[in-house]
Amino acid sequence: MLADALSETLQSLDNTAKSANRPVPRLLAVSKTQPAEAVAALAAVGQCAFGENYVQEAQIKARALAALNLEWHLIGHLQSNKAESAAEVFDWIQTVDRHKLVVALSRYRAADCPPLNVLIQVNIDDEASKHGCRPEEISALAAAIAAEPRLSLRGLMAIPAPHADPGQQRTAFRRMKTLFDELAAHHPQIDTLSMGMSGDFPLAIAEGATMVRIGTALFGARAPKPSPTA
């Protein structure tokens, strides 16, 4: 049951944070590929923040569930030509990695909405195939975001490359925490370091994640094979 999965996950975040002597992170429930009904079921037991990878998929669910007042986060790559819809649908964009997006999001965020919360996505393992800015680009992007009244700079996000060796996995999270602390020295209002997924959240929490993004551990595996009918 989703309610059980939620309480087990929250308990696990709590235990991990306490044993690592860290604050308990916020849970972002990653609802990509899940139907609106599954989101509503989690919302009914108290979960209010949901992460989606695609603008259009989120738009459909957010409209269907508008009455629930949920908080929607974009955690997938954002193309500039989708910035207008993204600025309308989401409360948070976790994947801002270039100046062009800063300009587009701020242009399209409606004046009667609260400022759009923004995280800068960092390509922490310098993978050619991954989105995210390089660490040395963070401070200029942060300054551009902070200068836009329609945007609110909240912190950093990363999707480190999976490492079989937990020590190496930890290193990427630790480097993110260092970058976060350096950014906070110039932007003391930032409060969010989004890192850690179902497979690696304990390491991320131990290194200082303030938000973890969890899909599989909550909803079960995505795109399950159809069950045999015979």
Ligand X SMILES: *Cc1c(COP(=O)(O)O)cnc(C)c1O
Binding residues for ligand X (CB under 6 A)? 30, 32, 53, 75, 159, 197-199, 213-217
Q: What angle do CA 174, 157, 166 make, to 5 degrees?
A: 35
Query: Closest separation between CB of residue 10 and ligand X, Å?
Result: 15
Residue closer to ligand X (CB basis): 101 or 159: 159
Q: Are the C-beta atoms of residues 117 and 93 closer than 8 Å to each other?
A: yes
Q: What single letter denotes the amino acid at residue 61? A: K
Query: Closest separation between CB of residue 191 and ligand X, Å?
Result: 19
Those residues with Cβ within 8 angstroms of residue 109's Cβ, 6 or more apart along the chain or in another chain: 87, 115, 116, 150, 151
Residue nearest to ligand X (CB): 215
Q: What angle do CA 165, 121, 81 make, to 5 degrees?
A: 135
Pairing of strands 49-52, 116-122: unpaired
Residue closer to ligand X (CB basis): 98 or 213: 213
H or E segment and range at residue 204: helix 201-206
Query: Closest separation between CB of residue 31 and ligand X, Å?
Result: 10
Query: Closest separation between CB of residue 217 and ligand X, Å?
Result: 6
DSSP 133: B
Query: Closest separation between CB of residue 229 and ligand X, Å?
Result: 27
Residue closer to ligand X (CB basis): 46 or 199: 199
Residue closer to ligand X (CB basis): 116 or 197: 197
Residue closer to ligand X (CB basis): 148 or 205: 205
